Amino acid sequence: MIRAVLIFVLVLPAMVVAESISLPLEQWKQMDRGQKVIELAPLKKLMKAVELAPDSSINIRYPGGDQGVTWAGQLRDWLVSLGVASSRMILEPGSGKADMMVLEIQPGAPTQ
């Protein structure tokens, strides 16, 4: 019993729960050129999570189609300009909504 508790206590800090952040297309479109991307609330939350978990990866799940691919590429480029290595990001079609990207922080390096 003590061994099981000890294993749980030692493993618990290593277990990082994936965090999911939604970025609505409408919010992205309303950003004017003078506004900093980092001022968008979902991206503030993402950057904070990335800072707290430097060994994490980011899954960018975007809507299918050309618009979704373009949007995901723009976001990836902005994240790179903010200091996030492109090797930490995975772009995946299929956010589940035509007007939403889902950004998932995963523990460890990208698996794709």
- The dihedrals phi and psi of 106, each to the nearest 5 degrees, come to -115, 145
Per-10-residue mean pLDDT of the chain, 112 residues long, equals: 38 53 84 69 90 92 93 92 92 91 88 66
Residue 4 in domain: no
Looking from the CA of 70 toward its CB, the CA atoms found within 13 Å total 7
pLDDT at position 15 is 42
Residue 3 in domain: no
* 62: CATH: 3.30.1330.60
Q: Within the chain, where are the H helices?
A: 2-11, 25-30, 41-52, 65-81
Q: One-letter amino acid identity for 60?
A: I
pLDDT at position 112 is 60
Tokens representing residue 3 in the block: 């061994």
Distance CA 98, CA 76 (A): 18
pLDDT at position 36 is 73
Parent domain of 44: 17-106
Output the CA torsion sign for 81, 83, 88, 92.
Answer: negative
Residue 6 in domain: no
Question: Number of structural domains, the chain?
Answer: 1
* pTM higher than the cut 0.85: no
pLDDT at position 23 is 87
Consecutive H or E run containing 102: strand 100-106
Residue 2 in domain: no
